[in-house]
Amino acid sequence: MALITLIYVSSAVRSVTSSDIQDILKQSREANGKKGITGLLLFKDGNFMQVLEGDAELVDALHQKISNDPRHGGIITLFREPILQRSFSDWKMGFKDIGHLTEDEKAGHSNYLDRPLNDAVYMSNPNEAFILLQAFKNTVR
C-alpha cells in the first residue's frame, strides 16, 4: 500500500452552516474509517483546510469526490506527497474551527490566525500548511 498525504484549501459556499459541517464530519468519519483514511479538517471564517492521509488510490478518489462537492469551491491542492508514516493516525477526520478559539488556544499561533486558510503563503510554501495542521492536531475533538 502506497501511503500519501494530500492537503487542500477551499471556501465554503455562503449557505453552509455549522450543522452542515457536522453532517460532513459524521459522513466523513464513517466513510474514512472504512477506507483507512485519516486526517484533519480546519475551518476559519468560511475557508477549509484539510489533510487526507491513506492509500494513494483511495485518497485521490476521495479528493476527486470532495472537489465535486457543491458545499464548497475554489479548491486548491497545496501538497500531495508519498509518506512513510501518518501524522494524523488518531483522526478518522478531526475538526477544529480555528476562527473561534479560546485565548489559551490562540497562544503562540498569531501568525497563522491572522491570515485566511487560503492565503497565498500556503500556496508558495505548502509546508506552512502542514505546520498549521500539526499545531492544532492535539487540540482537536
Ligand X SMILES: Cc1cc2nc3c(=O)[nH]c(=O)nc-3n(C[C@H](O)[C@H](O)[C@H](O)COP(=O)(O)O)c2cc1C
Q: Per CB under 6 A, does 117 bind ligand X?
A: no
How many residues bind ligand X (CB under 6 A)? The answer is 16
Core vs surface per residue 13-51: b (16+ CB within 10 A) or e: eeebeeeebeebbeebeeebeebbbbbbbbbbebbbbbb
Q: Rank residues 7 and 24 by Cβ distance to ligand X and give the closer one.
A: 24
One character per residue 77-116, x = contact with ligand X (rule: CB under 6 A): ----------------x-----------------------
Q: Site for ligand X (CB under 6 A): which residue of 3, 55, 71, 80?
A: 71
Q: Per CB under 6 A, does 32 bind ligand X?
A: yes
Footprint of ligand X on this chain (CB under 6 A)? 10, 24, 27-28, 31-32, 41, 48, 50, 62, 65-66, 69, 71-72, 93
